[in-house]
Amino acid sequence: MFTFIVRRIIQTIPVLIGVTILTFSMMHLIPGDPAQIMAGESASPDQIELMRDRLGLNDPLPVQYFDYIRGVVTGDLGNSIRSGRAVSNEVFLRLRPTIELAVYSTILSVFIGLIAGVFAAVRRGGLADSFVMIVALFGLSLPNFWLGLMLIQYLAIGIDIFGINTGWFAASGWGTWQQQVLPVLTLGTAGAAIIARMTRSSMLEVIDQDYIRTARAKGVKERVVIYRHALKNAMIPVVTVVGLQFGTLLGGAVLTESVFAINGLGRLMVDSIRARDFPIVQGGVLIFALLFVFVNIIVDVLYKFLNKRIDLN
Amino acid sequence: MAETTDILVEEPILEVRNLQTSFFTEKFEVKAVDGVNFAVPKGKTLGIVGESGSGKSITSLSILRLIKNPGKIKGGEIIFKGENLLDKTESQMRQIRGNEISMIFQEPMTSLNPVYTVGQQISEAFIIHQNMSKKEAMLRSVEMLELVGIPSPKQRVKQYPHELSGGMRQRVMIAMALACDPELLIADEPTTALDVTIQAQILELMEELQDRLGMSTIMITHDLGVVAETCDYVAVMYMGKVVEYATVKDLFKNPKHPYTVGLLNSLPRHDIDLGEEDLTVIQGSVPAPDQIPEGCRFAPRCPFASDICQERLPHLEQSEDGNQIRCWIYTDEWDGDPEVNVNGKRTS
Amino acid sequence: MAKELLKVKDLKQYFPIKGGMLGRTVNHVKAVDGVSFNVYEGETVSVVGESGCGKSTTGRAILRLDEPTSGEVEFDGEDLLALSKKKMRKKRKDLQVIFQDPYASINPRQTVRQILEEALDIQNVVPKAERGKKIAELMETVGLGAHQADRFPHEFSGGQRQRIGIARALSVDPKLIIADEAVSALDVSIQAQVINLMKKLQREFSLTYLFIAHDLGVVRHISDRVIVMYLGKIVEIGDTNSIFDNPQHPYTKALLSAIPVPDPEPEHKKERVILQGDVPSPIDPPTGCRFHTRCPFATDKCKVDVPELRSEDYMKEEHMAACHYQKEIEAGTHTAKY
C-alpha cells in the first residue's frame, strides 16, 4: 500500500509540471502587455518598463518559468495588483470557506446519491425507480446558479404557506449553519444526481453477479445482501466518479459563492478576473489544480482499498 | 391414466412434484421447468442431466426458491423432510438455505464475493445459522478449509478469492456449503469450469465428504461421465420435463428414452476408438421457447416418432423396476413399429 | 509420406509483465516455451492440455495474431514470421481460424451473406459475378440452406453460428484450418453434428486441421495425431491410438485417467491417478521437468534435468514422450510414490 501511494504521488509530478506551465502561460496569454496591465491604465512608459523589469519579463522564457517555479515552491506567488498584498496570503485567507463548501457538498451528494441509487436499483423497473431517476435527471439539468436563486427566493426570503414563513435560512455569507445549508444544497444537487445514477447502474450490475446468488443461497437476509455483499462492490466505480465530480464541484463553487456572497476562493477569483488582478487568478487556478490532484490521489487510494482484485504493486 | 407423481423411493429426503417455473417476457411465457417430478433418496446422489435449456439449473434454483424476476414458481410441491418448501415464509426459507439445504455453483471464479476474505465468507454461514461469535466462526472456518483439503488453512482463511486458483475456490465454495452440516447439497455443474485433473480432485473430495457426513446430493450436470461416476440415480431432462428417471446402472446399460439413447451415442469417448465411423447424432436442435411442440417435446428430433408422439404428450410412467419413462413407445397406445428397438444403434 | 504443410520449430511466446515503481518489464509469462512439431497435409493434429498449457497461444502465434517471441513457423514452404504484415494478411487466405465463440468473432449487424461476401472480397478469390452462387454453395455445404443467407447471426442457434464460422473459414478455400476450442461451447447433441460436419468437409476439400481442444473424447474421435502440452511445453506427441491406448508420460496418463467415463460399470476398471495441487504459474515454471511438482514418479533428477522428447524401441514410430523414466515406468521398475 505504501509503495502504491508513493508511486501515485510520483505520478502526479508531470501533472503538476503541466499545471504550472499552464498557470505560468496565463500571464503571457492574456491579451495585451502584462506589464501595462500590472502598472495600470495610466502608467507612463517608464513605469511600464520598470514594471517589466521587476516582473522579469525581459528574461528569456525558461528563466522566467524557473523563477516562477521557485516562487511557487517557496510560497511566493507574487502580489495582488489591487491590494498589493501577497497572493499566497489573499488566497489562503479565502480557501477555508471554499474547501468547507466543497467537502460538505461532496458529503451531501454521496450520502443522498448512494441512498437514492440503492433505493432505485432494488426496485428496478418499479414506480419508485422511475421516480428517483426522473428527480435525478432534474437535479442534473438544473443550472446551479438558478437553483441557488430559487432556494434563496423560497427558503431564505421565504413565502407564507398557511401562516408559516419558509424563510428559514440565510441568503448570504458563510459561518453559521443557517448560512451553509442553501449553498451546500445548491452545489450538492448535481453531484447527488450523478452519484445516484451511477450507484443505481453499478448496483444493478452487481445484483446480477453470481456471488450475490451465493450469499442468498447461504441464507443471508436480503437487507444484508444489498448493503454488505452488493454495495461494497458497487461502490468501486462510484468512488471514481466522486473524485472526478470534485473538479466540477470546484468549478461550481465559483458560481455558488457569487450567488450566496460567500467570501471564498471562487468569489475572489471572479472579482479578480473582473479587476484584471492576474496574479490572484494565477494563484487561485494553481490552488484549485493542486486540490483536484490531491483529492484524486485520495480517491485512488480508496479505490485500491475497496477493490481487492487490483494488485497493489 | 394419470401422471405419475408418487415416486417409489425409500425414504426420500426431497420430493419434487409437478414443479413449474416460468419466465415471463413481454410476448410470451417461457416454461423453463414444466411439470418436473423426482425424488432424492436419503444419503444418495441424484444426477439431473440435460443440455442447455433443459431447465436443470432452474429446477435447482427453484428448490431453494432463488428464482428472480421475471421468473416465478407457478406451481407444484417441493417436499423436504415432509414439508412443502413452497408453503414456507421467506424468513423460514432463510433458515433452510445454507443450513439444511446448501448449494454449490458452476463458476468458482465469480461465485465468491471479491471484496471479502474467504474466512469472512465461510464465517457468515456459522454466524447466521449457529449464532457464533465472529472469532469462533473464524476458527471453525479454518477447520472447514482443512476439511476440504486446502493446504495451510490458517493463512488461506485471510486471503481474498482472487488470490486462489479455480480449484481452490471451488473447495472454498464446498467448505462454505458444508459449514452447517446440511442434509441436502445441491451442486450445480460444480466442475464444469474446471480442468479435468482438478475436476477429478473435486469429485473425489465430494464423494469422500458425502461418505463422511452422510448428506444427500443433487448433482446437476451436462456431463454423462460425471453422472456415471458420482450418482446413484439419474433424471434426464429435456425442455423442462423429466423424460427418464432411473438408477445409474439401468440408465447407462439400458437407456430407454430415445433422447437418452441419442445423448449417449453422440458423445465422443476417449476410451473407445470409433475409427473412421461418424458419431450418431440427434438431428436438429432444441426448438425456440415460443415454438414448443404440442405432443412429445422430443418428437421433432426423434427418429422413432409416430403420429401419437406429434399429437399428445406422453406421461412419466413407472415400470416394475421403479424406473420411470416419458415415451409412447413403452405404452399400450404406441401406434408405431411394434418391433422398434430404441437401443439398436448403440455403439459401445 | 504426405507433404509437411506446417512446420513449427522452437516456437516461444513470452508475454511481458509490467510492474515496479516505473512500470518496467519485471518478468515474463512463458506461455509457450520451445515448441516444435509438424503437420502433414490432409491430417488432423490436435493440441490438448489444460488451461494455461499454451495450446491456444500456440495457435495464435502460428497465425501471428500475437507476434511470437522467437522460433520458426514454416507454412507450405514459406517462412510466415518473415512475411510483412501485408503479405501475412494475404497469406491468411490459406490459414483460416474458427474460434470457440463464433458470435464474438462475427459482426452482429451483418447478415450471413454480408459476412461471407466480406470474406470473399478481402481475399478476392472468386469473381464478383459468381459470389452469389458461391455463397449459396457454402451455405449448403455447412448444412444451413441457401435461403438462410439473409438472416442475422442472432437468429441462429449456437450450433448454427458455428456452422457460419465454418462457412466463412471455408469461403476462401484454405489449406489449413486452426480450430480453437471450436466445439467446446456446444451441447453434446449439437457438438456431434458439428464434428461430423468437420470430418465430412475434411474428406471433401482435403483440408488440414490443427485442432486445439481440452475435451479428449472429441480429440480421440477427430484426430490422426495428438500433441499433449503442459506449462508451455510438449510432453507427448504421437498418433491418436498410441496416445490414448499407450500413454507414456505420467501427465498424459493422469490426464486420461481423470476423465469421467460415461459407464458406471466399465469392463476394465481403470486405476485413477489423482494429481496433487494446481498447475504452477507459467511466470516461474518449475526447473527441470515442469511436471515434477505434481508427478508421482518424480525424483531429484527431474528437478534438475529438462527431459527431451524421445521415442523408445517399444513405442510406435513418431510416438515420443518427454519423461526421464518412461522406459522404466513401462517396464515396472520405477514406481509411483503414491
* A269 and A238 part of one domain: yes
pLDDT of residue A313: 37
* B215 and B309 part of one domain: yes
In a domain, A208, yes or no: yes
* B223 and B340 part of one domain: yes
In a domain, B82, yes or no: yes
In a domain, B94, yes or no: no
Range C120-148 average pLDDT? 86
Q: In which band, very low, low, confident or very high, does the pLDDT at C21 lie, cut at 50, 70 and 90?
A: low
pLDDT of residue B8: 55
Which own/partner pairs from B259-263 qualify as long-range (CB within 8 Å, at least 24 positions apart)?
Answer: B259/B298, B259/B301, B259/B302, B260/B236, B261/B342, B261/B343, B261/B345, B261/B346, B262/B301, B262/C189, B263/B49, B263/B51, B263/B224, B263/B236, B263/C188, B263/C189
Beta-carbon separation of A211 and B160 below 8 A: no
* B140 and B254 part of one domain: no
pLDDT of residue B134: 95
* B200 and B140 part of one domain: no
Hey, what's the torsion of the CAs at B191, B193, B197, B200, to 10 degrees? 0
Beta-carbon separation of A10 and C20 below 8 A: no
Report angle CA B129, B130, B136 to the nearest 5 degrees: 125
User: Minimal CA–CA distance to B3: which of B330, B324, B341, B335?
Assistant: B324
Choose, out of B107, B197, B203, B227, the residue to mutate when testing the contact with C (most C CBs < 10 Å). B197
- What mean pLDDT value characterizes chain C? 90
CA distance linking residue A241 with residue A192, whole number of Å: 11
With CA atoms as reference, the chain C residue closest to A8 would be C21
* A16 and A136 part of one domain: no
* B246 and B224 part of one domain: yes
Range A10-30 average pLDDT? 82
* Phi, psi torsion values for C32, nearest 5 degrees: -130, 130
* B320 and B198 part of one domain: yes
Please indicate if any CB of chain C lies within 8 Å of the CB of A313. Answer: yes
CA distance linking residue B253 with residue B250, whole number of Å: 5
Complete edge-to-edge strand list for the sheet that includes strand B12-24? B29-41, B12-24, B71-80, B83-84
* A61 and A107 part of one domain: no
Give the residue from B151, B179, B207 where a domain finishes: B179
Nearest chain A Cα distance for residue B181, angstroms: 12
Percentage above 70 pLDDT, chain A: 97
Find the domain containing B320 and state its range: 1-89+189-348
* B29 and B171 part of one domain: no
Cell of A66: 524557473
Range A281-301 average pLDDT? 86
Q: What is the pLDDT of residues C247-305, one digit of tens each?
A: 999 999 999 999 999 988 877 666 788 898 888 988 889 999 999 999 999 999 999 99
* A137 and A276 part of one domain: yes
Q: Which residue has the higher pLDDT, B62 or A126?
A: B62
* B116 and B138 part of one domain: yes
Name the region of C77 (left: φ>0; alpha: ψ -120 to 50; beta: rest).
left
In a domain, A241, yes or no: yes
C-alpha distances (whole Å) from C238 to each of B256, C226, C310 are 39, 6, 11
Please indicate if any CB of chain C lies within 8 Å of the CB of B282. Answer: yes
C-alpha distances (whole Å) from C331 to each of C133, C257, C260, C312, C327 are 60, 19, 27, 12, 6
pLDDT of residue B5: 47
Tell me how many domains chain A contains: 2
Q: In which band, very low, low, confident or very high, does the pLDDT at C48 lie, cut at 50, 70 and 90?
A: very high
* A56 and A103 part of one domain: no
Residues of B in contact with A209 (CB under 8 A): 110
Q: B40: helix, coil or strand?
A: strand
Residues of A in contact with C21 (CB under 8 A): 3, 6-7, 10
In a domain, A80, yes or no: no
Nearest CB among A6, A10, A313 relative to C19 is that of A313
pLDDT of residue A312: 41
Beta-carbon separation of A309 and B160 below 8 A: yes
* B136 and B80 part of one domain: no
Q: What is the pLDDT of residues A225-244, one digit of tens each?
A: 999 999 999 998 898 888 88
In a domain, B102, yes or no: no
Residues of C in contact with A313 (CB under 8 A): 19-20
* A147 and A187 part of one domain: yes
The radius of gyration computed from the CA coordinates of chain C, to the nearest angstrom, equals 21
Q: Read off the DSSP letter of residue C148.
A: G
Name the region of C260 (left: φ>0; alpha: ψ -120 to 50; beta: rest).
beta
CA distance linking residue C226 with residue C209, whole number of Å: 12
| Angle in degrees, 0-180, between the axes of helices A231-259 and A278-306, rounded to the nearest 10 | 170
Beta-carbon separation of C261 and B228 below 8 A: yes
In a domain, A87, yes or no: no
Tell me how many domains chain B contains: 2
In a domain, B137, yes or no: yes
Q: What is the pLDDT of residues A167-199, one digit of tens each?
A: 788 888 888 888 899 999 999 998 999 999 999
In a domain, A113, yes or no: yes
Q: According to the 3-state scheme, what is the secondary structure of chain A?
A: CHHHHHHHHHHHHHHHHHHHHHHHHHHHHCCCCHHHHHHCCCCCHHHHHHHHHHCCCCCCHHHHHHHHHHHHHHCCCCECCCCCCEHHHHHHHHHHHHHHHHHHHHHHHHHHHHHHHHHHHHCCCCHHHHHHHHHHHHHHHCCHHHHHHHHHHHHHHHCEECCEECCCCCCCCCCCHHHHHHHHHHHHHHHHHHHHHHHHHHHHHHHCCHHHHHHHHCCCCHHHHHHHHHHHHHHHHHHHHHHHHHHHHHHHHHHHHHHCCCCCHHHHHHHHHHCCCHHHHHHHHHHHHHHHHHHHHHHHHHHHHHCCCCCCC
Give the residue from B179, B203, B227 where a domain finishes: B179
Residues of C in contact with A3 (CB under 8 A): 21
Neighbours of A154 (CB within 10 A): 13
In a domain, A135, yes or no: yes
CATH number of the domain to which A288 belongs? 1.10.3720.10
| Angle in degrees, 0-180, between the axes of helices C112-123 and C158-170, rounded to the nearest 10 | 20
Choose, out of B63, B115, B169, B180, the residue to mutate when testing the contact with A (most A CBs < 10 Å). B115
Q: In which band, very low, low, confident or very high, does the pLDDT at A207 lie, cut at 50, 70 and 90?
A: very high
Q: Tell me if ipTM is over 0.90.
A: no
Pick out chain B residues at pLDDT < 70. Answer: 1-10, 344-348
Give the residue from A46, A74, A102 where a domain finishes: A74
pLDDT of residue B56: 94
Find the domain containing A15 and state its range: 2-74
Nearest CB among C192, C199, C260 relative to B223 is that of C260
Nearest chain A Cα distance for residue C23, angstroms: 10
* A120 and A234 part of one domain: yes
Q: What is the pLDDT of residues C213-245, one digit of tens each?
A: 999 999 999 999 999 999 999 999 999 999 999
CATH number of the domain to which B286 belongs? 3.40.50.300
* B71 and B117 part of one domain: no
pLDDT of residue B347: 37
* A44 and A130 part of one domain: no
Give the residue from A74, A105, A127 where a domain finishes: A74
pLDDT of residue A4: 79
- The beta strands (E) that lie in chain B are given as 12-24, 29-41, 45-49, 71-80, 83-84, 101-104, 184-188, 216-221, 233-238, 241-247, 317-318, 324-325
pLDDT at C322 over 80: yes
* A172 and A41 part of one domain: no
pLDDT of residue B94: 95
CA distance linking residue A114 with residue A227, whole number of Å: 11
Beta-carbon separation of A7 and C19 below 8 A: no
Provide the chain C residues 7-46 that lie in CB contact (below 8 A) with chain A.
19-21
Q: Which residues contact C269 (CB under 8 A, 6 or more apart)?
A: none
pLDDT of residue C20: 61
* A140 and A249 part of one domain: yes
* A121 and A62 part of one domain: no
Nearest CB among A213, A219, A307 relative to B95 is that of A219
* A111 and A69 part of one domain: no
Nearest CB among C196, C199, C256 relative to B270 is that of C256
Q: In which band, very low, low, confident or very high, does the pLDDT at C22 lie, cut at 50, 70 and 90?
A: low
Please indicate if any CB of chain C lies within 8 Å of the CB of B236. Answer: no
Neighbours of B83 (CB within 10 A): 13
Q: Which residue has the higher pLDDT, A156 or B326?
A: B326
* B158 and B268 part of one domain: no
State the residue for C-alpha cell 451511477. Answer: A198
pLDDT of residue B344: 65
pLDDT at A39 over 80: no
CA distance linking residue B58 with residue B20, whole number of Å: 10
Omega prior to B70 cis, within 30 of 0: yes
User: Minimal CA–CA distance to B120: which of A224, A299, A2?
Assistant: A224
In a domain, B97, yes or no: no
- Looking at B97-147, list the stretches that DSSP marks H as alpha helix, in order from N- to C-terminal side: 118-130, 134-147
* B309 and B247 part of one domain: yes
